[in-house]
Amino acid sequence: MIVVTGAAGFIASCLVTRLNAANFNDIVVVDNFNEERKLANLKGKHLREYVDREGFFEWLDTNHEQVEFIFHLGARTDTTEQNRDILNVLNLEYSKKMWQACCQYQLPLVYASSAATYGSGTLGYSDDDALLPLLRPLNPYGDSKNDFDNWAVNQPEKPFFWAGLKFFNVYGPNEYHKGRMASVILHAFRQIQDTGSMTLFRSHNPEYADGEQKRDFVYVKDVVEVCYFLMHNRQHSGIYNLGTGEARTFLDLTLNTFAALDRTADIHFRDTPEDIRDTYQYFTQADMQKLRGIGYNRPFTRLEDGINDYVRNYLVTGNYY
């Protein structure tokens, strides 16, 4: 059996699809299944069992001998969450329990970290362990992810294989439920469909023109390919960046969304909301040497191609992956 936590969410539900495509059908999905808006992400998939996240460790005590691999992708992912108690429970303490269980039962583990750990990027975007204690995230969410990364690498006891993945700006199907936290592509699609135009955040940094803020946008189908690779290549434990290695502007993203819809671009700007303005990242770009160095050699999807696939084959049709 393969365990996937956060399974009704965006990235994890796409991973379940990728596993099913490779004929892995004994999948145990773990989540809080009370959020009905997310359940459509799992519809039609081949699953072994649903386990509520609150009862998972008790379930694992009973079933660990049948488990082959754990993908721990569940987390509180709202980057505007200011309640550190919630983040500590879901992102830090739960992950520590997962780590300890994987040590106890000798289970391999891949878990979700985040590029939010890099903060303003003043130290660059290298996934070298030596930089971990020096990173200063810009929000409590990033702190919770960085705190766990630092805790993990300093544990004297580790799973026989483990990998933490620092997801950069992931976009793609199955993020319909994410609201404000959905990718800019989904917001652009909805706004263009409703109004014929798109409004982006104005730059409040003199080094960047409006719309020229840059992020490393990575297609979710590439993200799950990396997860699949790590499940089959368990020689090199560690923390890895997961982006494309190429930063692109929000204008690039928006213009390609208009193009995928065969619409004429009409772009406007508004002030970045004050609650995120001081913690806004103007540039992110994953250093991908470490993952490439352990043998991952698949090319990453170009932004143009990823947006075209996402818009035409999922957003326009309402399909799930």
Annotated binding site for substrate: 169, 180, 187, 201-204, 215, 280
Q: What angle do CA 138, 75, 109 make, to 5 degrees?
A: 110
**Alpha carbon distance 256, 310 (integer Å):** 11
Output DSSP code: residue 301: P
Q: How many residues does the chain have?
A: 321
Find the catalytic residue in 96, 178, 208, 320.
Answer: 178
Q: Is 290 a catalytic residue?
A: no
Find the catalytic residue in 94, 141, 171, 321.
Answer: 141
Torsion sign over Cα 250, 255, 258, 259? negative
- Distances 313 to 41, 97, 136, 173, 319 between C-alpha atoms, Å: 16, 39, 38, 9, 7
DSSP-derived pairing of the beta strands 238-242 and 162-167 = parallel
- Judge whether 243 and 220 are in contact, CB under 8 Å: no
**Alpha carbon distance 134, 308 (integer Å):** 38
Output DSSP code: residue 315: I
Which residue positions form the known binding site for NADP(+)? 10-11, 31-32, 38, 53, 73-77, 145, 170, 178
Which residue positions form the known binding site? 10-11, 31-32, 38, 53, 73-77, 145, 169-170, 178, 180, 187, 201-204, 215, 280
**Alpha carbon distance 231, 96 (integer Å):** 20
Output DSSP code: residue 283: B
- Judge whether 125 and 118 are in contact, CB under 8 Å: yes
Residue 59 half-sphere exposure toward CB, CA atoms < 13 A: 16
**Alpha carbon distance 15, 71 (integer Å):** 9
The total of other beta-carbon atoms located within 10 Å of residue 313's CB is: 13
Residues 6+ apart with CB under 8 A from 126: 287
Structure tokens at 5: 């936590």
Q: Is 141 a catalytic residue?
A: yes
**Alpha carbon distance 274, 295 (integer Å):** 43
Name residue 112's amino acid: A
Q: Which residues are catalytic?
A: 141, 178
